[in-house]
Amino acid sequence: MSMGIRNALKKTISRVSKHLGPIIISSWAPYSRLAIMGDGSNWVLSQETRELRKIAGQLGIRQFSHRLSDGIRSQCFFFLGQLVLEEEEWFAKENRVGVAYFHGLPGTGYPEFDRLYRHLCLKHTKVHRVQVSHSQMRDTVLSSGISPEKVFLIPIGINLSYFHRQSRESREKARREYGIPQSAVVIGSFQKDGTGWGEGMEPKLVKGPDVFIRTLGILRGRIHELFVVLTGPARGYVKAGLRSLGLPFKHFYFKDYRETGRLFQTLDLYMVTSRQEGGPKAVLESMASGVPLVTTKVGQAMDIVIHGVNGWMVEPEDAEGLAHFGEKIMTHREDLGPILENARKTAEENSYTSQIPLWHDFMEGFVRVDAF
C-alpha cells in the first residue's frame, strides 16, 4: 500500500470515528469500559501502562482509548500517577476514577508531595480505587481518611520475558555488544534522577543521585577498575559527578524497554541510592537478572528485600553502608549463589502474571466485567 493511500485511509477512518464515536459510546452500559492512562513519557509509567492494559485484557475488561476521554461519562479511568488529583475536571463528571499513588511522603521536605497529599485528603470520597506499591505508602494513603476497601497494595511488577538469569557467557557477550571492558567491575544505575526531561544538570534529590556519587567516591578507593553503566533520561548531574571522580562510564537511553534487560547482563552489581521511591522497578529487574542488589530502605524494596537473604539494604543517605555491601559483594562472589537464587524467586513471585489475581480484586466493583 502506498503512503498516499495509507494517509487517505487514516483520514477516512478518523472522519468516520468522529461521527460514529458518540453513537457507539452512548450504547455502552454504565461503568463497563476502562481507560488506563499513562503519562506519555516513554519511561517507567509508560511500560507499566502497557503491562496493565494486557492484564486488563486477560481479565476480560473492555477498554477504550484515552483519545476518547473528553466525551466519556459513566465509565472508568485508571491513572498511573497521582498528579490527576490536581485536575478538577476528572472529578466533575460521573466517571469512576482510580489512581496509582506510588511515592511522595508528605512532611519530608518536598512541597509537591505535600500538595498532592492535600488533594487526596480533599478528594478521597471521589476516588474509587488507589493502587499503592508498598506498605509505607498504603499507610500514608489510609491516613487521608479514604475507605480502606478502596486501597490495594500491588507492587510495581516485572515482565520476566525481558529479564533472564545472567551467566558468564551472557555477561561476556553483552559487554562485547555494549563496548564495556570485560575485566571491569560494573555497577548499574538505571533511572531518571535529574529535574525535567532535558540534560538533567539539576539533581532530583529524592532519587539520591548525590548519594550515588558519594558512594562511588568511597568505592573508587576500594575496588580496582570500577566502571558505571547508566540508563534513563536527565542524567547530567550524575555524569558530571562521575567525570569529577575520574570514573569511566557509559550512558544509554533506550526507546525499546527490552534493551534494559539485555543491559543488566553486563553488570556485577546494581545500586539504588534513593531517599524515596514507589518501586523502583530496578529492584525486581536486578533480582530477575541474577545481579546482586544493594538498595536503600525505600519504596517496595522495604517489603521485597530481605537483608542478606535476597539482597542488601541500608538506611537512606548511608553512602558508607552502600559502599560496604558493594565491596562485600565484589570480594565474596563465591558466596552469592543462594542469595541470587532467592532473589530470582522473589522476582517470580512479583511478576505481572503472578499479580493477575491482585488486579482481579482491584477491578471487581470498579469496572463491570462479564467474567466477574
Q: Are residues 144 and 231 in the same domain?
A: no
Whether omega for the bond prior to residue 338 falls within 30 degrees of 0, making it cis, is no
Q: Are residues 314 and 172 in the same domain?
A: yes
Q: Rounded to an integer, what distance in angstroms lies between the CA atom of residue 300 and that of residue 185?
A: 27
Q: How far apart, in Å, are the Cα atoms of 140 and each of 135, 157, 306?
A: 9, 21, 22
Q: Are residues 150 and 286 in the same domain?
A: no
So what's the pLDDT on residue 116?
96
Q: How far apart, in Å, are the Cα atoms of 181 and each of 111, 267, 336?
A: 43, 11, 22
Cell digits of residue 219? 568505592
Residue 260's domain is classified under what CATH number? 3.40.50.2000
Q: 3-class DSSP state for residue 90? A: helix
Over 70: is that where the pLDDT of 309 sits? yes
Q: Rounded to an integer, what distance in angstroms lies between the CA atom of residue 59 and that of residue 353?
A: 11
Q: Are residues 175 and 146 in the same domain?
A: no
Closest CA to 364 of 83, 60, 142, 154: 60
Q: Are residues 297 and 169 in the same domain?
A: yes
Over 80: is that where the pLDDT of 153 sits? yes
Beta carbons within 10 angstroms of residue 142's beta carbon: 16
Q: Are residues 59 and 76 in the same domain?
A: yes
Considering its fold, how many domains does the chain have in total?
2
> Is residue 32 a contact partner of residue 73, using CB atoms and an 8 Å limit?
no
So what's the pLDDT on residue 290?
98
Asked whether residue 145 is domain-assigned, the answer is yes
Sign of the dihedral defined by the CA atoms of residues 184, 187, 191, 195, in that order: negative
Length of the chain: 372
Output the average pLDDT for the chain.
91
* Least confident among 37-51, 110-124, 225-239, 331-345: 37-51
Question: How does 194-230 read in b/e, with b if 16+ C-beta sit within 10 Å?
Answer: bbeeeebeebbbbbbbbbbbbbbbbbeeebeebbbbb
Q: How confident is the model at residue 6 (pLDDT cuts 50, 70, 90)?
A: low
Q: Are residues 132 and 167 in the same domain?
A: no
Q: Are residues 252 and 174 in the same domain?
A: yes
Q: List CB contacts of 304: < 8 A, sequence separation 6 or more.
A: 155, 283, 284, 310, 346, 350
Beta carbons within 10 angstroms of residue 139's beta carbon: 11
Q: How confident is the model at residue 255 (pLDDT cuts 50, 70, 90)?
A: confident
Q: Are residues 99 and 221 in the same domain?
A: no
Segment 273-307, tens digit of pLDDT: 999 999 999 999 999 999 999 999 999 999 999 99
Closest CA to 131 of 81, 60, 86, 63: 81
Q: Rounded to an integer, what distance in angstroms lies between the CA atom of residue 189 and that of residue 294?
A: 11
CA atoms within 13 A on the CB side of 250: 13
Range of the domain at 247: 160-349
- Greatest alpha-carbon span in the chain: 69
* Least confident among 71-85, 96-110, 341-355: 71-85
Over 60: is that where the pLDDT of 11 sits? no
What letter does residue 32 receive in the DSSP assignment? -
Over 70: is that where the pLDDT of 103 sits? yes
Q: Are residues 183 and 280 in the same domain?
A: yes
Q: How confident is the model at residue 45 (pLDDT cuts 50, 70, 90)?
A: confident
